[in-house]
Chain A
Amino acid sequence: MEHVLGFDALLLARIQFGFTVAFHFIFPAFTIGLASYLAVLNALWLKTGNERFLRLFRYWIKIFAITFAMGVVSGIVMSYQFGTNWSVFSDKAGPVIGPLMAYEVLTAFFLEAGFLGIMLFGRDRVGPGLHMFACLMVAVGTAISATWILSVNSWMQTPQGHIIGENGQFLPEDWWAIIFNPSFPYRLAHALTAAYLTTALVVGGVAGWHYLRGHGHNRGVRIMFSMAMWMVAVVAPLQIFIGDQHGLNTLEHQPAKVMAMEGHFESHPDGAPLILFGIPDQDAQEMRYSIEIPKASSLILKHDLNAPLAGLDTIPRENQPPVAVVFWSFRVMVALGFAMLGLGVWSLISRWRGILHTDTWLHRAALVMGPTGFIAVTAGWITTEVGRQPFTVYNILRTADSVAPLDAPAVATSLVAFILVYFAVFGSGVYFLLRLMAHPPHQGETGVEQEVGPMRAAGTVPGTADPRTGAK
């Protein structure tokens, strides 16, 4: 096989897919939650007529529009990369996962895209009721999209409901079993909750920034901080519980992944220790310099101090995932999860003491925690995806047997191009987002439709003045 700088086409293709999908998922992780937040803000505005909610809606929708566009264009890349770089996988798994992805397009992407224009620009054209409906459709669309793609991913982790055909393809036998494969409900709950938590942290972080900049009297800032902290306080503990359940499910169906997460090279017949930290040495098949809590891992995973737990010594070397990556990314995710829980609890205490809006250290903490959702989400994905290695379809199809017959120089070139373009384009996008976030929501906040100039057509639209200001 050809090499470029010691990388073969397989490794290059893996790096490219990992890079583009990690980058891509950052955007939906934010827009899934933000779409729902916008729908809530719009509903509150319609219900109460309180202008502050409209102001917040307009403030966040500008941020939403940019993030959504970046999610769309980086998502198109994903829908083609299965074929360009993983053509053998696509040929074999296409009959099973292809239809699920087609349903994602039909039920989610079109729904989001079809109503996005109305959500962004159509308030004055369609009236408040239909506009609210459009906001809901966009929010629902993002969640439906996540549902289908997580079903696909879960099937790759815990495949069932198929047979292997004579031509080597996975052939669907039972669609219900395929869609509702064993890890799907847990993964869906875990990923959706992560998206809502990520959004709450961003909103809280932005509010925290404005408090620190002396905008603590700004009602918009106060409302968004209060809403975000409620969300973190409720969702962070929920997420830890769901994550734990997801882990137990993984132990049942993908034990090698959990062994790597735990760093258990050896089997423990009478109670496995919880390894807090250590340096995994996969070549030597041992954990160096480990700090352990005796029997705690068995307690967490089996709810019994003395329950036996098998280690990677029961898994042939060629079927083991890369332990160090999985071990560390898992720890990053869990540590951030508990930090989020801490923020939520802290906010509850401050709220109870009546200092939610004046607790400067809380505001600092919220600001620091602002981007951590993205890090935790990415770390979680690395854990589960690298933990599935060396397979694309767990225990059935190896990653090395999935890759497209491309020359290494071709993949190396595209990889470099992706890295340059993504950092340039999405780096600029993040800069624009930060600029928008740096301004506090203010009175007379403009939405997208006023900003982009002449959206209104001349003379073809019946007068649809804002019902709140016009009709009353």
Chain B
Amino acid sequence: MENLGISFDLTVVWALILALAIYIYVVLDGFDLGLGILYPLFREKKERDLMMNSVAPVWDGNETWLVMGGGGLMAAFPLAYAIILPALYPPIIAMLLALIFRGVAFEFRWRTETRLSRKLWDGAFIGGSFIASMAQGVILGALLQGIEVEGRAYAGGWWDWLTPFTILTGLAVVAGYAFLGACWLNLKLEGEIQHRVRNMARILGLVTVGFIVLVSLATPFLIGIYWAKWFTFPQIIFTAPVPIAVAVIAIALARSLIGHGRDWLPFVLALALFGLCFLGLGISIWPHIIPPSVTLWEAAAPEKSQWFMLVGAIVLIPMILAYTGFAYWVFRGKLDPEQGYH
């Protein structure tokens, strides 16, 4: 564990597959959760319809990556699944309940007949999106700060997850998702409303980068091994490029948002920013799956399980990416706000 010794075995392959699934989840559901966070800033029904429509055909697929994350964790690292979920019981239950509210709001909204009822489900969409995002950030922070394990089970209390650090990561994810949402709307909308979301994206981009800096500064102080990774020679040679790349992407983002045109660019750069944060988190946690005590190999499923799933994953994941990409392609392009509602 002194260096980032990498040996490519099945366990590592599965860790990478799961990391990919979680990354895809974070950016895809991230932008549609972000819409819910930004929702209060748009008051007119027509604008809200437009926002909903920009994700209506794809939100369900986005959320499926979360099921993949949960199911995949249970399948590939059952011990980690069995320790992390009880340890983070309150934020996980909160996330699940919040996702119920915002998920059904997509459908219920169109069925409401009174203003009050519509406001109620709009509220469910906003509250659900916010709480789900916050809970996901708290879950991330709680994992990062370490979980107390004894034998094959969680050994802490049911409020251990709540610390200033997890509140910080919770708010960071809320800001980050709102930023992704703004970049998505910048991509999908045009005219006056696009001008507004672009302004929002500028502010939210700054806030997001600020949170990245704060979380990055706080993380090395959580557990000794993190400090060693990020601030001692020779590991720093391998880890330093990550923050440097974050800075480069942040500058590129600023340029792309200050100017006009190339509406896809901020969104793509935001995806890259999230990718780098993800890489940074991975470096911190590696080679553990539950810091500071359970490694990937200790939690891994037996080889027979890993092989059985790998055969399917190699065939199916490219297919999934292909038809998911196709679905996005079908609904590509700007939404036309003039295409009336009837």
Contacts and interface: CB of A to CB of B under 8 A. Distances in A.
Interface of A: 65-66, 68-70, 72-77, 79-80, 82-85, 87-88, 90-96, 98-99, 101-107, 109-118, 120-122, 125-126, 165, 167-169, 171-173, 175, 404-407, 410, 414, 417-418, 421, 425, 428-429, 432, 435-436, 448, 450-461
Interface stretch (B51-59, B169-177, B226-234, B282-290): B51-59
A75 to B, nearest CB: 7
Interface in B84-122: 84-86, 89-90, 92-93, 96-97, 99-101, 103-104, 106-108, 110-111
B146 interface: no
Given A83-B81, A115-B327, 17 more contacts: A66-B104, A66-B108, A76-B96, A90-B82, A98-B81, A110-B68, A113-B60, A117-B57, A117-B58, A117-B331, A118-B330, A120-B56, A452-B52, A453-B53, A454-B341, A457-B332, A457-B335
B330 A406 contact: no
B53 A452 contact: yes
A68 B86 CA distance: 28
B334 interface: yes
A80 B301 CA distance: 18
Nearest to A165: B302
A116 B110 CA distance: 17
Given A98-B75, A106-B320, A452-B53, A457 B336 contact: yes
A80 B153 contact: no
A91 B158 contact: no
Nearest to A85: B86
Contacts of A121: 56-57, 331
A432 B341 CA distance: 20
A146 to B, nearest CB: 15
Contacts of A80: 70, 85, 92, 96
11 contacts: A65-B107, A84-B93, A88-B153, A91-B82, A94-B78, A94-B301, A98-B75, A102-B312, A429-B108, A453-B53, A458-B333
B266 interface: no
A292 to B, nearest CB: 46
Nearest to A110: B320
B48 to A, nearest CB: 10
A122 B330 CA distance: 8
B76 A98 contact: yes
B252 interface: no
Given A84-B92, A107-B312, A432-B108, A407 B333 contact: no
Interface residues of B, number: 79
B297 interface: no
CB-based closest 7 A-B pairs: A94-B78, A117-B57, A98-B75, A83-B85, A457-B333, A460-B333, A454-B339
Interface in B28-72: 49-50, 52-53, 56-58, 60-61, 63-64, 66-68, 70-72
A363 B214 CA distance: 66
B258 interface: no
B4 interface: no
B67 A90 contact: no
Contacts of B152: 88, 91, 167-168
Nearest to B316: A106
Contact of A171 (B82, B83, B101, B302): B302
A92 B82 CA distance: 9
Interface string B312-342: 1100110010011011001111111111111
B235 interface: no
Nearest to A454: B339
Contacts of A432: 107-108, 111
A76 B104 CA distance: 13
A407 B87 CA distance: 11
B78 to A, nearest CB: 3
Contacts of B97: 417-418, 421
Interface stretch (B195-203, B241-249, B303-311): B303-311
Contact of A69 (B107, B153, B309, B316): B107
A120 B58 CA distance: 11
Contact of A91 (B72, B78, B316, B334): B78
Contact of B323 (A85, A94, A114, A454): A114
Interface of B: 49-50, 52-53, 56-58, 60-61, 63-64, 66-68, 70-76, 78-79, 81-86, 89-90, 92-93, 96-97, 99-101, 103-104, 106-108, 110-111, 124, 152-154, 157-158, 301-302, 304-305, 308-309, 312-313, 316-317, 320, 323-324, 326-327, 330-342
Contact of A452 (B49, B308, B340): B49
Given A83-B84, A450-B342, A72 B336 contact: no
B63 A76 contact: yes
Nearest to A96: B305
Contacts of A87: 81-83, 85-86, 153-154
B244 to A, nearest CB: 36
Residue from the set B49, B72, B93, B327 with the largest chain A CB neighbour count within 10 Å: B93
A207 to B, nearest CB: 21
B89 A406 contact: yes
Given A94-B301, A102-B75, A77 B81 contact: no
B71 A83 contact: no
Contact of A101 (B75, B304, B327, B331): B75
A460 B83 CA distance: 49
Contacts of A451: 110
Contacts of B301: 94-95, 98-99
A73 B62 CA distance: 12
A118 B327 contact: yes
Contact of A76 (B82, B99, B324, B342): B99
B49 to A, nearest CB: 5
Contacts of B99: 73, 76
B53 to A, nearest CB: 6
B29 to A, nearest CB: 11
Contacts of B308: 99, 172, 175
A453 B339 contact: yes
Given A94-B82, A105-B71, A110 B64 contact: yes
A453 B340 contact: yes
A79 B67 contact: yes
A87 B299 CA distance: 13
Residue from the set A114, A126, A410 with the largest chain B CB neighbour count within 10 Å: A114
Given A84-B85, A87-B86, A106 B312 contact: yes
A163 to B, nearest CB: 10
